[in-house]
Every structure is written in C-alpha cells, then in structure tokens.
Chain A
Amino acid sequence: MATQLNLSDSDSSDLSDQSVFTRRSNRSLRIAEQERRKKEEEDPFVLALKYFSEVEAGTPATGNDELENNLVRVEKVAFSRGLSPEAISVMLDFAMSLRMGSSPCARVLKCLLPASVVPQEAVVRAIVWLTVRKLPISTQVLFMKWVLTVFDMIDAKDKLRAIYGFIFSFVTDENLCPFICHLLYLLTRKENVRVFRVRKLLEQQSKLGRQPYLLYLLSLYKVFCPELVTLSIPSRMKSGFKNHISPWKSALIAVQKRNDMQVASSISLAFAVRDKTASRKRKHAHLDLPSLNPVTIKEPQAAQSSSRKLVPMQQIQSFAQLLQNMHRIELPAQMGSLLGSSLALQYLDCVQDESALLRLNFWLGYTLHEEFLFCSDGGANKNPEEALQFLNRLLSVQHFLQEGFNSSDAFMYKFLNVWDGSLLRPQILGLLSNIPVIPSSQIKTLLFDPLMQLFFTSSLFFKCGLIECLNHMLLKWLTWHSAYALEDDLDISLNSHTSINITLSGFKDSVMELVHFVGRLASVGLQLEDCHSLLLSFILDFYETVCDTFLKFGLPLVVMPPPGVFYPAFFAADPVSVDRLAFIMHRYKVNLTSAKRQEKVTEGFHISRQTFREFNRYQVFLVNCLWNSNMCYPEADVRLSDELLAKSGVPQFSTRFDLIHHPAFVSYALDFHHKCWPGRKDTDLNSIKQSKPWNWYLEYLFTQGFDGLKDFVQNSINQRVMMAGDGCDNVTQSQKLGSAPHIKQPLLS
C-alpha cells in the first residue's frame, strides 16, 4: 500500500491523489496543485518528502544525517504552515511502517500538523500498521492521541466506520483502551452496537473496574440500544473523555491561525448521554423535565425491520439533521422531555400522533396537578422559583406551538377554583388566555363563576390583568375562527383537523357569552373602582376587539357594549377615553353597515335588530351630546329630573357635554380660544360654536391626534347640516343642529 505512494512519479502520484481525495476531488484545484508542485520540484521540502516516501526499509536511523536533515525540513514546514494532506500521508506512513525503526516515530508523529485536512486513507493505513505491534506502547498511545486531536479534520469518516470492528478489537489492549473507547465513541452508529461488543466491553469493565471511558462508550451504546445495556453514571463523574491533553493542540491552533483558517472547534465532543436519575435534591421533583431518553422496549414486530433505521431524538443535534431525518425520528421514551429542547419542539409541531400528544398531556397534567393542586410537598408555595420557571417554559412552548394543551386547559379549569389571584399571576393569566373555545353550555361553570369571584375580590391591577387576559382569549378565539371557518358553509363544523368540533352558531354563542361576561365584569368593575382610567383603558382595549368581529375576523356577530361601559367611557375626564369610544363607535358603524349589506346578499345571515337599536341609541346620544349640545333629549338613556338639574345650579346643563364643554375637551377649547382670539380678555367658549370657528375647532382637535373623534365625526355627522349652519351665525349651533335627523340615516330600517 505504502509503495504506491511515489511523489516523483507524476502518474502514480495522480493515482494516489485520487485515492486520497476521493471526497474532495476538485479538478481545477488538483491541476493547480500539480503546477505548483512542478515549480517546487527542487524545493527541499518536496525532496524531503520524497526521501521519506522512498527510503528503504531497514535503513539505520541513528547517526543518519540525511534523515536528520530531511526531518528538520519537514518539521520546519509543519510548524509554520502545517502539512498538506499528501505530506501527512507520507509522513504517517513512514512513521507507522517503522521503515527506519521506531526511534524517529514519536518525532514524526509530533510534527503531523495538518494544514487543511487529514486524508482518511492515511489514518486507516496507520491503524492497520498498529496491528503489526512492533510499535512501542508510548508511540501507539501517541498515535491514538493524534487521531483524536485531528479527528474533526479527517476528510471523511466512512472508511473509518467501515473498519469499526477492527478498531473495536483494540479495546482489549489495556493501554490503548481509553483512547480506543474515545475514538469508538466518535464513530459509533446504531448499526455498530451489537450484543457481542456490549459483552466485550462489560468483560473489559470487570477486568479494569469502573472506568469512565468504558462507561461513556457504553452510555452511547445505551442511547442506541437501551434494550442491550443499562447503566447509571455517578453524579461525581465528570463528563467527557479526558484525552484532550495532546502535544499538538497549541501548535495546531497557531498553524491554523497563520493559515487564516477558522480555528476548528477543537475536538468538539457533544457529550449528551448523561442522564440524571431522579434528582436527589427534592423528594418529588415534579417540575424537572424528564431527559431525552430513547425507548427501551420496542414493539416486537417493529424491532426487526424498521427500528434499525430509526434515529433517536437525542441524536438530533441540529435543524439540518432534523430535516434530514424527519421521517424516521424515534420519539423519546418520555414525551415530557420534548419541552426541554427547541429542536424537539419543532418536531412536535409536525407530529400528528395522537398517542404522543396524549402522553405529553398526561405528563404535563400530572405535573401541574401535583405541583399546584395536590401539593404533596408544599407545591408551588414552597418553590416559587421553580414553579415560575416551569410555567414560563410552558408558556413559551405554547407560544411557540401557537396552541395550548388539553391537560393544561383541564388543569386551569380546576385551578381557577382554588387560585388566590396573586400566586404567579402573569403566568396563570397567560395560560388562561390560551384556553380554546369552550362550548357555551359549560363556559359558565368552567370559566365565569371562578373568574367572577376572583374579579370582585381582587385589586384594581388584577381586574386590569384579567380584562387584558380575556381580551387576548377573545382575540385568539376570533383568529382561530377566521383561520379555520369555511366561508361558504357558514353553519358547518369549523374544521375537522381541530378537535373543537363546534358549529358556527355554537362558536357565536360562546363568543357572545364571553363578550357579555366581560361587559358585566366591566360595568361592575368600573363602579367598584370609581371609573378608574387604567381599568377603563383595558376595557376599551377589549371593545376595540369586539367592535371589529365582523370585518376583521369574519364572524357574523356584533355585540354592543353595555351602558355600564359606554356611559362611563363617555363621561370620562380624559380625552383619550372619549376619543377611543368615538373610534369604537365608528368601527361599530362600519361593521354594522357592511353586515347589513351582507344580509341582503347572503341568506341566513342575520344580525339581531336589537343590536342596531342599541347602536342607534348610543349614536344618537353621542351626536346629541357632543355635537348638538343637547344632552337632555326626550329619548335619552340618561335622564335626570329637571328640578334636580336646576338645583345643581349648572348653567345650560344641556350643553355641558358638547365638544367644547366636555370636561375632557374643555382645556382644548380654552387653548383654541386663546389661539383664535389672542386679544380677547374675557373667554366665551360659546363663541366657538359659530360655524367658522367650530370648523376650525374641529380641525384643531383633529390635529391634536384625536383620530377616533375624526373618524367618528367624518362618518357619522351629516356634513350637509354643518353647511346649512353656515349662513345663520347668530343662531347658536345647538339650536341649529338640535335633533336626531342630523345624524346620517339611522342604520336600522
């Protein structure tokens, strides 16, 4: 084999090149290489290599000046630039074949610093030379260390794997065993794990005692074939093989740096076989994720044919590997372990295996129950930190998968009954908002009853949090609907690929129940909290979702806010709330108008008349108050006896909530007044009501960012009427625009 390699003869060198570079045979590169070589024909380094490849067996080494000179030359190149694959091949062959005895061997090995890659044939040949057994033990060890050091630089591993059994036979050698185990660890594939090898290793174990290297190799065997071998790695045992200390490391890094090569992630040894047996820290470690272990007991019929091809999840280290093996990944023994790895989650996302998900659900449900409901060892109260981490992980998993788990939903229904509203609030509310659509028959007992109790007995911040959470829940339900509803068949089960087989009308009922429920909570909550603007803001967030159910999510349902929400929002002292209310009313109008159009086209499409009536009532009220300065019109919802109003001593009480006098806007009105009539001493806000200043005032308000108001005014107030007001400056605007007909046509016919 070695004699084939002859550098001077270009033909045979070509041959050897081919064999060396089967993998990376790049023609142009090779040609360039040859040209370079021709130029360097007289290079002393090339001559030195030629010497080593041609030297006769049995040439004495001691006192051989030629050898010394050539060796120095090679060393010089090796330590400065590193050796080319061919040079490595030649030198390794020279050393391992012991052509000049064993004395120069170690020296040669020490200078084998690859410049780029190591040809695997050279390594294979060298391993074959090992069997000759003439090498001193220290040299054998040195060689093994060298192989391990440059392992990542070996250009291909297929031939090395092909001689797995051959390499394995060295484990009986006490001196080489640690290194052989390491090498085998790097080479082992599932098909290499066989009973006789396991037995051999166990035999070695009984001979040599508990050696980490044997254990590590066996633990890899266990990953592939847990049905053959089992073991437990003591916690005190450090992970990884300890064969790293090698004489090449620093020199190699230096060479690589000089060659501007990316420093190879020197001997990367992903050591992932370690598994902890029942953590000894806590008695019941529910919150520990199980580790990714392969299945021990295979289905008997499957074991023969297909299991050989299956890849345990644990072996998947990168996304590329995941994609390659997608069709033959073996799920781990414990599904709970998937939550611990993002790669596994990617896979879980594609798995449509009912059993797998049920297993995951059993584990998750068990963990949540034990930790938060049964509390067998103090539960979440005792280890809030762990509980927090666990729930955060669960939340991020749900976020990643964009869906919840049955078991965590079932848990939530129970937990809400015992929750104090403060324990891990953000996490619990997060889980709550992931709950999928609940049929309207069960929604009250499962959700509303416990939440009602919590809501009315908790702080303002909890109330805000809960409203926000319910808003998220509603958004998710609506999004779910818009993604899965089949547009043509309005009343057919949403989709067969989800488990929630709910009819459209059932879904509408649930959504309506939820919206009404939040309406009730909001009405009472606002009273309890004195119409706190923070709470109001969360409530308006909710209604911003609600008002767009038809247009944004295609759900033929419009639910108006209850008076308990509408009026507090309107009477709020901050302009933002009023502006948002105006925006919401605007969106309601747009939704209702287009729903009405749809009603004419689609049969069976129906929006309750009551909704239109409610909308009209609110709309009339808004226009009358803000625009017509007439709060006390006969059909108004909010009515106070005239005597009481007279008693209050407020002048012109009916105009108090128009755009000028509304407490939310009065400061804007004043500011506008100053700007409009800078000279005026006495402020008369009513003068804004004249048509020109009125229009300017509106413009001014719109420039202040009240877009909701702008939308509302532009779409709901009859512009024609405003024009009509133009000519009669003496008459107050309120009289002019004093009645409902000035609203654009009411929607309900």
Chain B
Amino acid sequence: MKPDMFYSRGLQLSKIKVFVAAIMAPGFHFDRWFCLFRKSWSDDHTLLISKEKVKPEHLELLVKTEWQLSYVTPLYQFRHTQLKSYSRQLSAFIAAEKQEGLAVEVGGLQNTFKVSFSVLQGLAETSDDPETVLIQVPMFARQEDPPKTVWCGWLSCINGNPEYLQSLPKDFTCLPLFCSKGAEDLSSLVKSWLQRTFDCCFGPLDINQTTLQWLAALWTNCHMETNIQNLKMIWTLPVLPPLQVTYTVDSDDVLDLWRSTRESSAEKSREAEDEVCIDFSEVTRFMQGLMSHFYRHFRVDLSAGELNQVSSALGSAKVNGKIKISSSRYLISIFSLLTECALLKMPI
C-alpha cells in the first residue's frame, strides 16, 4: 500500500536543479557570455586551431548559409559510432513518409536515396562538448551523380556549460543547437525522426534582443581586424501603422563609438588589462549611444521599439532565429553564444 502522498522519484537531478536555479538568477546570462568573449577574442590560438581542425569543405558549408535555429533537448542513446545505422533509418523514414502507404525496407535504398550522417570535426571546443553531427539529405526520387543535397542540418554543442553537461547521465548526449537549411517539410521530417529515435524535443530558438545587441557589439569589435563595411540594424516601432527603421552606421564611426564605450570602462579595471573583458553594461551603453545619436537626428526613440535584425559584412542575424555568418573567423564565438542561448531554453 502506498501512503497518500507525493515524494519525488529516485532521481539524482540535484545538479540539474542547481542549473535551473542559476538560470533564474538574473546575472547568469551575462557572466557566461562575458567569459566567452574573453576566450575567443583574447586567445586567438583557440580560434585558429579550431579553424584548422574543421575541414575546409565543412567550413564552406557552415559559412555563407542562412541557418534556421532550433534548440534540442538532450538526445537519449545517441552514439557517434552508429551514424551509418542512423543514415539507413532516416533514409527509410523519409522515403516512407514521402510515399505514404508504401513500406520501405530499412537499408534497402542504399543506391537510390541515401541520407548522410557525419561527424563535423573540429567544432567542439572543450572535452565536454560532444562532436557536431552533420545531416545531409539528397533530392528524393531523382538519381543524380553526385546526389545534390537539398536539405542540410547539424546538431552541435560548442562551449556548452560544463556543469550542465556533466550533470547528465551518460545515456544522454547534449547537442542543444540545431541549425538547418532547406525545405520546411524535410526539416520537420528529420526533426520528427530525431524526436522518435532519441526521445528529444525541438523548439524554435529565437535570437533575442540581448543576443542581437551582443552580436552588434561583437561585429563592431571585429572591425579592428576585418572590414565590416557597415553595421545595419533594423528596428520596428509600435506605432500605427508600424514603423520599420533601418539604421545603418559606417563601420569606422561605429568602431569609434565602441572604443569610447570601452575606454571609459577599461580605465576602471586597469588591473585586468591583459584580458579582454567585456561587460554587458558596455554593450548596453554602446547601444544607448547608437540610439541617442538616432534620437538627436530624427527625434525617434528607438528604445521604445524592438531590434529585429543586425547585419554587417560578417553576417546577419534576425530575431526569428535566422543567422548567416559570412566569415569563418568568428564562427566559434558566435556558435558558442548560440549554444548558450539554446541551453537556456532547456526545460530542466
């Protein structure tokens, strides 16, 4: 007989619980991102090494493509060694879904339609990060040589919170960031297969205001090394009819503004000179500078609106979770940032 009461399951989720609590603490976000900046900017070695680690054809694939972002809960019983079997399964699954009412033998399509599963090496940054997995789907029911990829997506975890990653039992693989491009129906087929196979869940990952502002600051900072041409921001203002403001700033001017924001704070923390530390307050001040400039000229207060899009020669990011990165140079830092955003969406 069971007493009429509630007790919790025999789970040892204490670590995960800590993480939940941490997410809810307001300072959590920024501390993490600040570390990340420091890592990728001050320590170019890491960056260069990872660039070398990633195969050139993979790099080519990753950049200059607009990715649609999703977050994924940890995958159950995912094995990097089983990719061949996954490839057979997913090929059969897509084939069966494409031709409803026709059963398909798993592994029976080797020659006609083959989804490729591969490890995209070199993106994982720490030993806790599982390797990135790349999925490519060719055109169905058309035999081309070589088969043309019509859909592509990858699951990754770059600089994931080690505390969270270590708290998961070993049956789980945490690849929280899912980027895809290609037809919507294929995306949902692949997602639904992954969901069924690894008991995970997919949710849309939007790039929120804060992240967009970070990206604006990050790209501006890059102008010191690479020409970013312009910093373009698109705002929407809640007026009737809705007003869309496209705000483009010359790269040199915006870098000046960023430097002046940095200088004032750099004085404050002189002792930490050897490390490039960026505080979220600096980003906020930078954005305020941009907004007040706009206000002075047009008498429109952008802070009342929403930042929807940020772009520069290095890439573009939209609030609805679409991101395009044009230079491989800052790939790792941006995807670390997005991994962080995805981890923040984890339900437990």
Contact = CB atoms under 8 A, between A and B. Distances in A.
Interface of A: 198-199, 201-202, 205, 210, 212, 214-215, 218-219, 222, 226-234, 237, 277-278, 290, 293, 296-297, 299-300, 333-336, 352, 354-355, 357-359, 361-370, 374, 376, 398, 402-407, 410-411, 413-414, 434, 436, 442, 445, 476, 479-480, 482-484, 497-500
A359 B76 contact: yes
Given A210-B101, A376-B203, A414-B24, A230 B196 contact: no
B77 interface: yes
A199 B97 contact: no
24 contacts: A199-B108, A222-B103, A230-B104, A230-B106, A231-B96, A234-B100, A336-B199, A358-B168, A358-B169, A359-B76, A361-B11, A362-B199, A364-B347, A402-B3, A402-B7, A406-B9, A406-B13, A410-B348, A413-B24, A436-B7, A483-B3, A483-B7, A498-B10, A499-B8
B14 interface: yes
Contact of B345 (A231, A364, A369, A480): A369
Contacts of A237: 101
Given A362-B201, A374-B345, A480 B6 contact: yes
Contacts of B77: 297, 299
Contact of B197 (A198, A201, A297): A297
Nearest to A225: B106
Contact of A476 (B6, B21, B192): B6
A210 B100 CA distance: 9
Given A229-B106, A434-B6, A499 B11 contact: yes
B5 A296 contact: no
Contacts of A334: 195-196, 199
A11 to B, nearest CB: 52
Interface string B87-98: 001001101110
B253 interface: no
B82 interface: yes
Given A233-B100, A278-B188, A362 B11 contact: no
Contact of A357 (B9, B24, B96, B103): B9
Interface in B184-226: 188, 192, 195-197, 199-201, 203-204
Q: Give 6 nearest A-B pairs by CB, closest first.
A: A365-B347, A479-B5, A231-B103, A366-B201, A218-B103, A210-B101
A374 B203 contact: yes
Contact of A479 (B4, B92, B100, B201): B4
A402 B20 contact: no
Given A403-B7, A404-B8, A369 B100 contact: no
Nearest to A352: B10
Contacts of A366: 73, 201, 203, 347
Interface in B156-195: 168-169, 171-172, 188, 192, 195
Contact of B347 (A335, A407, A500): A407
A390 to B, nearest CB: 15
A458 to B, nearest CB: 23
Interface string B323-348: 00000000000000000000001111
A278 B192 contact: yes
Interface in B1-52: 2-14, 16-17, 20-21, 24
Contact of B204 (A277, A293, A376): A376
A290 B86 CA distance: 20
Contact of A403 (B8, B85, B93, B346): B8
Given A230-B106, A297-B77, A402-B4, A355 B100 contact: no
A233 B104 CA distance: 12
Of B8, B104, B106, the most chain A CB neighbours within 10 A belong to B8
A278 to B, nearest CB: 5
Nearest to B108: A202
A413 B2 CA distance: 28
A222 B196 CA distance: 14
A219 B104 CA distance: 11
Contacts of B250: none
Contacts of B199: 333-336, 359, 362-363
A215 B13 contact: no
Nearest to A433: B6
Contacts of A357: 9, 11
B89 A410 contact: no
Given A407-B347, A480-B6, A355 B169 contact: yes
Given A230-B96, A374-B345, A407-B347, A354 B10 contact: yes
A199 to B, nearest CB: 6
B79 to A, nearest CB: 8
Contacts of A476: 5-6
B105 interface: yes
B105 A198 contact: yes
Given A230-B93, A297-B86, A499-B12, A361 B348 contact: yes
A413 B21 CA distance: 9
Given A297-B82, A402-B4, A232 B201 contact: no
A24 to B, nearest CB: 39
Contacts of A234: 100-101
Contacts of B101: 210, 212, 215, 231-234, 237
B169 A406 contact: no
B61 interface: no
A359 B197 CA distance: 12
Nearest to A366: B201
Given A362-B73, A370-B201, 11 more contacts: A227-B85, A290-B196, A357-B9, A369-B203, A402-B7, A406-B17, A413-B24, A482-B3, A498-B7, A499-B9, A499-B12
B347 A410 contact: yes
A227 B169 contact: no
Contacts of A483: 3, 5, 7
B104 A406 contact: no
Nearest to A212: B101
Contacts of B195: 290, 334
Contacts of B93: 230
Contacts of B130: none
Nearest to B100: A234
Contacts of B138: none
Contacts of B315: none
Contacts of A499: 8-14
B85 A297 contact: yes
B348 A277 contact: no
B104 A231 contact: yes
A352 B82 CA distance: 27
B7 to A, nearest CB: 5
Contact of B105 (A202, A232, A413, A500): A202
A506 B89 CA distance: 51
Contacts of A358: 11, 13, 168-169, 172, 348
B102 interface: yes
A363 B20 CA distance: 16
Contacts of B102: 205, 210, 215, 231
B184 to A, nearest CB: 10
A374 B71 CA distance: 12
A194 B278 CA distance: 61
B196 A202 contact: no
B153 interface: no
Contacts of B103: 201-202, 205, 214-215, 218-219, 222, 229-231
Nearest to B3: A483
A410 B16 CA distance: 10
A370 B203 contact: yes
A500 B7 contact: yes
Nearest to A333: B196
A300 B81 CA distance: 10
A607 B38 CA distance: 54
A406 B192 contact: no
A252 to B, nearest CB: 33
Nearest to A275: B196
Contact of A436 (B8, B100, B104): B8
A354 B169 contact: yes
A436 B6 contact: yes
